[in-house]
Amino acid sequence: MNITWYIVLSSLLFATGVLGILLRRSPMVILLCLELMLNAGNLALVAFSRMVGNEQGQVFAVIVMVIAACEVVVGLGLIVAIFRRRLPLNVDDLRELRG
């Protein structure tokens, strides 16, 4: 398979993640869509690493996984904190910081 196929698939997955963030209002699903976008970036990194024939791109993908894990942990902690304070789990209702 050409590398082009992987890159086009990666941009399709990224666009799907963006669509989810634009459409959904539950913070949980928005976090999942962030995961989709990070994974699309990972796929592109690994595909380009294969194209060049160098493993360093795969190290980047592993580091991106670490960042994604951190983001999930902090995001889920925020969701639990929101839930504990009996606030609505809806990003349109959580508008206190909006200017």
Partner 1 sequence: MEAVVFFVAAIGALGGAIGVIAMRNPFYSVLALIIHLFSLAALFLLLTAAFVAAAQVVVYAGAVMVLYVFVVAYVGGGGESAWEPIPGQRLLAPLLAIALFVELSIAVLGSALKALETHGPDVNEGFGDPAAIGRLLLEKFLLPFEASSILLLLAAVGAIVLAARRREVEA
Name residues contacting partner 1, limited to 5-64 (CB under 8 A): 5-9, 11-20, 22-26, 28-29, 32-33, 35-36, 39, 42-43, 46-47, 49-53, 55-56, 58-59, 61-63
Residue 96 sits in the site that holds partner 1 (CB under 8 A): no
6's tokens: 């992987």
Checking phi first, is residue 89 left (phi over 0); if not, alpha (psi -120 to 50) or beta?
beta
Tokens representing 55?
């493993």
Using CB atoms within 10 A of its CB, is residue 70 exposed (0-12), middle (13-18) or buried (19+)? exposed
Q: What residues make contact with partner 1 under the rule CB under 8 A?
A: 1-9, 11-20, 22-26, 28-29, 32-33, 35-36, 39, 42-43, 46-47, 49-53, 55-56, 58-59, 61-63, 65-74, 76-81, 83-85, 89-90, 92
